[in-house]
Amino acid sequence: MGIQFVQCLVWSLKKQWRIAVVEMISRYMGWPWMLGILICANTMQAAVLWSDLGTTLVHDTGVGFDILGGAVKEDDSFTNTLYFKVHVDPLSDASTEEYFAAFELYEGDKERLGIGNALKAWAYSAFRADANGESHEGSDYIDLHSSRPEPSTPGTSVIYENPHRGIECTIVFKVQYVLGGDDLVTVWLNPDLGPGATEGAQPESLITRFNANASFNEIHLRHGGGGDGWIFSDMAIATSFGDFVALNSDESGLANRGLGSREPLVTFRCWQSEQGLPQDHVRALAQTSDGYLWVGTDDGVARFDGVRFVPFGLPEGLPSGPVRTLFGDSHGTLWIGSVGEGLIRWQAGQLTTFTMADGLPSDSVSALAEDNEGRLWIGTDAGLALWQDGHLTTFKAAGEFKGKAIAALFKDRRGDMWLGATGVGVFQFHAGEFIPLQDAAIKELLQDPHCLLVDKAGRIWIGAGDDFVLCRDGNQWRPHQIPRHLARSYVSSLAEQPDGTVWAGSASEGLFEFKDGKLVSVNASSGLSDNSVESILVDRDGNLWAATDAGLNLLRQKDLFAFDQRQGLGYGAVAGLAEIAPGVVWVGKPSDGLYRWDGRSFSRLMSADISIIGQQINALLVSKDGSCWVAGRQGLLHFKAPTKTANKAELFSLPGFNIIALGEDRNGRLWAGTHEGELWRLENEKWQAQTNLVHPITTIVAGADGMMWIGTEGDGVYKFNGGVRAHWGTSNGLLTDLVRTLYLDSEGSLWIGTAGGGLSLWRQGRMTTFTAREGLPDNTISEILEDDKGRLWLGSDRGIGSASKRELEELAAGKISAISPQVFGRAEGMLSEECAGGFCPAGLKTTSGQLWFPTLKGVVVVDPRVHLSKLPISTVLLEQVLVDGVPNPLFTVTHPASGAQGEKLKSTESQAGVLRLGPGKHRIEFQYTALDFDAPERIRFRYQLEGLDSDWVEAGNRRVAFYSYVPPGNYRFHIIACNADGLWNETGATLGLTVSKYFWQNWWFIGLSSLTLLVLVGGGVRFIVKRNLQRRMEHLEQEGALERERTRIAQDLHDEMGAKLCRISFLSEHARRSHDVSSELQHQIVSISDTSRDVLQSLDEIVWAVNPQNDMLEHVASYLGHYAQEYFQETGIECKVDIPEQLPPYPLSSQVRHHLLLAVHEAFTNALKHSRASQINIILIYDGSAVEIVVSDNGDGFDPPVIDPQSVDAAGATCNGLRNMYRRMIDIGGRCLIDSQPGRGVTIRFVLPLDHPKGKW
């Protein structure tokens, strides 16, 4: 053990040193010298003699070619032992096609030994050549033993493993060279190369031994036959097994974050025609100074803002045809170089085309660049031209390129211009002269340049020839050859990222990243839409764009990795995770046992004891002392030293119980919770029952001061310390009692993940709950992990969501109504979005900061460090304003901003102009955008039309603001945007808007017209009222006049006649007195006198009735009384009158008075004439609703006949009189009631109802 340790240490030191030496040598002396050094290195112990850590795809290679380059060789004269390692990723699948692939040792052109897949073999196999050095690709082959053999039918046992597409495999083989004869070969198929692994400890099941002649001086990677080939990677030749064993995973690989050397760390976001790209064949890329990205296709250009492509082509005046190159200069102009149509300049919406007629050397423009003086260098198929101060020109030195095709132009950081011309060479323009680059070794290549780049470090890169990238570092040229499988895989473009990484795009092999001195392929297997890259561009934010035959691509750092059987994890869900050593993770699966991750791949843990607890592993816990507890269905295992495999483990089973949760308290004691609800504590290696909570215990978390927080599936959260101290359930604010996980953070807040009830936070005595409504990806939270930047990562049933704790606390405080977490789902690479839960610990945060989530299909690892905080979005633009559906020509931004405006746009304030609209009802649509390519769909906008909107309108990621009616006035439209991190660019873009009024909308007009209206209305009302009043007055006057007329007539009548009648009265009296009048005459005179007095009386009554002054009930009553007394004064009938002293002022019309009095008079007359009564009583009764006049006498009485007012009865005056009375009362709306019996007197009642206080006028 110790020796191994030392060996490893020495190896690692030497490795570093060795690589440095090799680098130095290769830089200065070239490849052949490496051999010498390495041969010396051969004699050292435990050394890696050769390695190729990159990936190489081999397909249909035929014989192939040497990859060693002479680094190592062995022949019969050597007696040492060499170890070989190769990692394969088969794309061909034996089950579908017949093929062979091999890592083959050659001696010269003679085949010796091939390891891989023999042509006739199904399984991983080795094949040997015959004496002649031919192997016929494996006619004699040996199947390699495997520890993960193919599933076999019962009865047979298979020990071989077939190469499967997608399932990678590491092969290590050792050759012990024997003098003169066949060498001893030992092959390990997928050995354990984790820390501490040794050659001797490898299981026999994966070892194959045979003899073969393995002399070699070349190694070919070969493939032939069907399928897509194999990918070989991570190849090495070393002197000991231990050279391949990882010391610790972080160093074992490259600086690839321990996520497997084979894992692509990048992924691509692609845009094709489905996403709006006008044409899938993108040929050129450029970015203009305003921030827009422009793509050139076969038919014009399109402008991209991250979300939307706006194409421009023939309709806009662009000439048809493919675009060859695009360039955005410092003035904001877009230059388009076409194939055969010349050079097009697009500035401020204006298109200008320049062709040969204008002085261009050729109509096919191939390259564009701008120098420090602001001049545009134009490279064409027939020479170089210059655009200076507004016109085309050329310069003397360019004459040497006349007629030559300029392939590339480049301006380096210092401002020097570089030029590559086909057939001529590569030149640097310095002090007015073109200085050619010269190098004998690569002279031919230099004559065929395709693209140029001078990086930050000053290295010159040239994509040249058919498949080379030349790199000049200092004074040394180093050619890099890209592996090619098709004819033309030349490098079409080069670009450099801000961190110095250089990328090359090839015409058929995808992208290559220059890393550690080698070109590393990043192609379709990493997500690039197509391997034929026409152009690449690094934008001003540092993003790498690749234009391919099948769409536009954007390079992204992968931050989520999904591991499943392809990495060796096997099928199915994952439960417990534990980091037993930095970078080494144990994975427990409920159906498949225990696996170990060593930084590159997974391997099954074969410790004998594991089978005791069965295949169902629920939970893993690494305790403070470094030991690991493994809880399975059938028991609990304790590994005291988990870093050593095949270590014995102690068993602490709880028979009959299914432990699903493990926790550790402050004192290091283990707590276990079972599916049956039992809580146990391990004390001095004995289980002590704590309590039974009935429901499954899904999570145990140690809190401060000895308190244990227990989460159950069905009964909420308990606080336990010796006994149950507290309990939280649905009554305390949890939405459900099904608790899945708990997390206690450093501030003491308890985060509770539930099944279906979202996430709850118990903080400062308050429980707040968040659900999908507040922005959580799902309501079932199974994992809560916190990264180093204060963000919570939640594993849910619909992916993983991450939100900052600060944002969640703001949500709890009510300051915001929802959060927008970053969500990872299938689109980001998860194979299953459902995170597994219901056990503890759930999820893992490694010492390196990675977050591991168990899912239903393997494990997902998220690296939160990838997500760097970014600056707020710098450019917010108003793209277009549509008024009533028509783009307003006064304000369109369909062009790269021009001239002075271009400078303004560089700042954050943009386009402060004013749009004026005429009067009327307008529908206005503002189309805006923000130029940010990192996560454009997560950009959120807010806009406000100041003057109409009282506050900001949250537009989400909508890029249109729509107003259906804008009333006249002055407004300002303001738009701001925030990036995915929630940082707002507060300035944004603004636009003034003025809508003028119709003249009739002006305030003075409205005021005036309202006033006029009011006046009219008022006047009208008054007029009508007055007229009505007048009419009434007239009416009344008329009535009054009538009344007065009547009265006057009556009075006149009365006066006239009254006086005269009085005279008659007096005269007759006088006559009577005279002596010589006989008594008879006296009687007659008296009669005359009496009659005239009667007439006067009658007249008196009439006048009284007509007199409007007697219009009240009061008058009638008093008159009646007086009248009755007078009537019966001399008659001998005693008259008793009874009238109420007070009567209300009830008006009675003259008609009523007239009829009433005459009726009563009739009654009097009857009584006087016919009744022979001695007494008569007249009573007036008023009861509020009617007036009743009762005339009763004590006379003879009579039998009252039935009065029929209609019949004309000749039965006498009595009847007539009665009929009269009756009729008169009816006429005035009253009635007359006669009650009499012979001998009992007569009682006549005159009833007059009073309808309403106003009476009848």
Partner 1 sequence: MITVSIVDDEKELCHSIETFINGSTGFRCVSSYHSGEAALKHLPQDRPDVVLMDIHLTGISGIECVERLKVMMPEMQVMMLTVYEDTDQIFKALSAGASGYMLKRLTPAKLLEAIREVHKGGSPMSGPIARKVVASFQGAGRTNDEKTLLSSREKMVLECFAKGLTYKQAADLLSISIDTIRTYVRRIYEKLHVQSRTEAVAKYMRH
Interface residue list for partner 1 (CB under 8 A): 1054-1055, 1058-1059, 1061-1063, 1065-1067, 1069-1070, 1073, 1089, 1093, 1096-1097, 1099-1100, 1103-1104, 1107, 1109, 1114-1115, 1118-1119, 1121-1122, 1124-1125, 1135-1141, 1178
CB of 1079 to partner 1, least distance (A): 17
CB of 1185 to partner 1, least distance (A): 22
Q: Which is nearer to partner 1, 1023 or 1066 (CB)?
A: 1066
Q: Which is nearer to partner 1, 881 or 1139 (CB)?
A: 1139
CB of 1195 to partner 1, least distance (A): 20
CA dihedral of 941, 942, 948, 949, whole degrees rounded to 10: 140
CB of 1212 to partner 1, least distance (A): 31
Q: What is the spatial distance between Cα 1077 and Cα 1055, in angstroms, rounded to a whole number? A: 31
Q: Which is nearer to partner 1, 344 or 1124 (CB)?
A: 1124
Which DSSP string corresponds to 958-1009?
--EEEES---SEEEEEEEEEE-TT--EEEEEEEEEEEEPPPGGGSHHHHHHH
Question: What token pair was written down for 201?
Answer: 């400890």
Enumerate the H helices of 996-1078 as residue ranges. 1003-1073
Question: What token pair was written down for 530?
Answer: 């197509």
Other residues' Cβ atoms within 10 Å of the Cβ of residue 1001: 15
Q: Which is nearer to partner 1, 641 or 1137 (CB)?
A: 1137
> 255, 212, 39: which is closest to 863 by C-alpha?
255
Angle CA 707–712–713, to nearest 5: 165
Enumerate the H helices of 1074-1149 as residue ranges. 1079-1106, 1113-1127
CB of 1226 to partner 1, least distance (A): 27
Q: Which is nearer to partner 1, 360 or 1096 (CB)?
A: 1096
Question: What token pair was written down for 990?
Answer: 């603004």
Give backbone dihedrals phi and psi of 1088, rounded to 5 degrees, phi first.
-60, -45
Q: Where are the beta strands (DSSP E) in 601-669?
A: 602-604, 617-622, 628-632, 635-639, 649-651, 659-664
Q: Which is nearer to partner 1, 1118 or 1149 (CB)?
A: 1118
Q: What is the spatial distance between Cα 602 and Cα 259, in angstroms, rounded to a whole number? A: 11
CB of 1120 to partner 1, least distance (A): 8
CA of 629: how far to CAs of 579, 642, 698, 976, 1126, in Å?
Answer: 11, 9, 16, 53, 135
Q: Which is nearer to partner 1, 157 or 1109 (CB)?
A: 1109
Q: Is 1207 exposed, middle or buried (0-12, 13-18, 19+ CB in 10 A)?
A: exposed
Q: What is the spatial distance between Cα 780 and Cα 797, in angstroms, rounded to a whole number? A: 6
Tell me the Ramachandran region of residue 653: left when phi exceeds 0, alpha when psi lies from -120 to 50, beta otherwise. beta
Q: Which is nearer to partner 1, 785 or 1116 (CB)?
A: 1116
Q: What's the DSSP call for residue 738?
A: B
CB of 1042 to partner 1, least distance (A): 21
Q: Which is nearer to partner 1, 699 or 1194 (CB)?
A: 1194
8 Å CB contact between 401 and 383: yes
CB of 1200 to partner 1, least distance (A): 27
CB of 1080 to partner 1, least distance (A): 20
Q: What's the DSSP call for residue 54?
A: E
Q: Which is nearer to partner 1, 393 or 1174 (CB)?
A: 1174
What lies within 8 Å, CB to CB, of 770 at 6+ separation is 758, 759, 760, 761, 776, 808, 811, 812, 819
8 Å CB contact between 28 and 473: no
Q: Which is nearer to partner 1, 707 or 1143 (CB)?
A: 1143
| CA–centroid distance for 778 within its chain | 14
Q: Which is nearer to partner 1, 957 or 1051 (CB)?
A: 1051
Q: Which is nearer to partner 1, 298 or 1100 (CB)?
A: 1100
CB of 1156 to partner 1, least distance (A): 16
Q: Which is nearer to partner 1, 966 or 1105 (CB)?
A: 1105
CB of 1139 to partner 1, least distance (A): 5
Q: In what order do the strands lie in the sheet containing 425-430?
A: 406-411, 417-421, 425-430, 433-436
CB of 1242 to partner 1, least distance (A): 20
CB of 1112 to partner 1, least distance (A): 11
Angle CA 51–53–55, to nearest 5: 125
Q: What's the DSSP call for residue 359?
A: T
CB of 1015 to partner 1, least distance (A): 43
What lies within 8 Å, CB to CB, of 399 at 6+ separation is none
Q: Which is nearer to partner 1, 302 or 1099 (CB)?
A: 1099
CB of 1047 to partner 1, least distance (A): 12
Give backbone dihedrals phi and psi of 13, rounded to 5 degrees, phi first.
-65, -45
Q: Which is nearer to partner 1, 538 or 1139 (CB)?
A: 1139
SS3 899: helix
Q: What is the spatial distance between Cα 332 and Cα 343, in angstroms, rounded to a whole number? A: 16
CB of 1217 to partner 1, least distance (A): 24
Question: What token pair was written down for 488?
Answer: 């033309």
